[in-house]
Amino acid sequence: MNKYELHSSEREELYQLYLYAFNRTDSDERRKFFMDRVEYGKVLRIKDQQKIVSALYRLPLNLNLRGVQFKMGGIGDVMTYPEAGGHGYATKLLTEILHNMYDEGYKLSFLAPFAHRYYRRLGYEQVSNKFTYQIETDKVRPFKVQQGNVTRETLTDGLDKIKKYYVARSGKIERPAWWWHYLTLKNNWEIAFAYDDSQNFSGYIIYERISEQMIIHEFDFQTFQAYQQLLDFVFAHASMFKQFIFEDYGNQYRGNYVSEPGLMQVKIEPYMMGRIVNFEKFITKYPFANDFGTLQLKVEDDNLAANNRVFGLSQHASKPLKNGLWQLKGKINDLSAIFLGALSLEDAIRMNRLRVSDVTMNQLQEFSRALIHHAPSFSDYF
């Protein structure tokens, strides 16, 4: 066992660190979802004087990129007691978990940062945003959709139904059964299901009712009819709440939640940082969209020395090379943003975040076309 790995007998002590570090109040519900997450994750901790003073966890998940599943580690609860700060404990644990993920074949890692500058030192880069749309309920008018119908259930009661519908499309997490169960433990969420005239399930929203707000956490639909049905369902609550809140992780503005977008307040904030962990395993599975010939890319990674190599990139046979010649060169932070679709190749070159040598403009254009152009858009929080 890794010397930093949590023993099952230490879970209560870890929970007390969590409560203190994040100023949380103990409750049966909080304890349940915390212990459930610990059960499925890998927890690393540092002890001082036989007491846990710093810890974090990693969750094993998969991210879908153009239909290809990539093993991904979600990092969460990076925490240290205040009196134990300043010793580099968190950095030591993060470095350890990165090497652990590399050795175990993880291709990617994501986390919600407390400080972007800090995590950039560890190879992470900003790759995902959160859009929050807020509108006063007296500014919207429900419209009656004459087709289909909407039913509602708690997340717990509707779990089997939504698991059958939910498909991890590109940029989204493949949710295993234990993660769905965790979501029911942590959140007091409800679901509204949209059906067409033939009673085919064609969309859903996951929402929460809190005081004077109705918060829509997820909005997924297959048809425009389902979209209208679900919006109508939301707006039918106008007499019950003062505000509708739509949370959207699609990395693009959506003013079509209401007919008059100017009536909404829109907040955009950074959400997730990500990084490529094992570049060789990542690039050999990467779903390039078209042929661009062969390019030699040099990877620079200050934290995982095994990534510091030159790779030959091609649509079907990317692989590490023995010689040190390169045509493209970049740090793992910037390369992660490029390959995950959060930074365009053109912007990376223009801002000198990617160095280029002896490459034709035509080949660069073909390479750019082959890359993913839409950043991850999952709402899951670790």
Q: How far is CA 268 from CA 111, 251, 296, in A?
A: 18, 9, 36
Write out pLDDT tens, residues 277-291.
Answer: 999 999 999 999 999
Mean pLDDT of the chain: 94
pLDDT tens readout for residues 120-160 = 999 999 999 999 999 999 988 766 777 889 999 999 999 99
Greater confidence (259 vs 209) lies with 209
Residue matched to tokens 């900003």: 126
Question: For the segment 331-358, what is each residue's pLDDT rounded down to a tens digit?
Answer: 999 999 999 999 999 999 999 999 999 9
In DSSP terms, 273 is beta-bridged to 111, 126
Exposed / middle / buried, residue 73 (Cβ in 10 Å: 0-12, 13-18, 19+): buried
pLDDT of the residue at 17:
98
- The reported pLDDT for the residue numbered 332 is 98
The pLDDT assigned to 133 comes to: 97
pLDDT in tens, 216-257: 999 999 899 999 999 999 999 999 999 999 999 988 888 888
pLDDT digits (tens, 9 = 90+) for 150-194: 999 999 999 999 988 888 788 899 999 999 999 999 999 999 999
List own/partner pairs for 311-317 with CB under 8 A and 24 or more apart.
311/279, 311/280, 311/283, 313/283, 313/288, 313/367, 314/288, 315/288, 315/290, 315/291, 315/370, 316/288
Q: What percent of the chain has pLDDT over 70?
A: 99
Query: Looking at residue 142, what is its pLDDT?
Result: 65
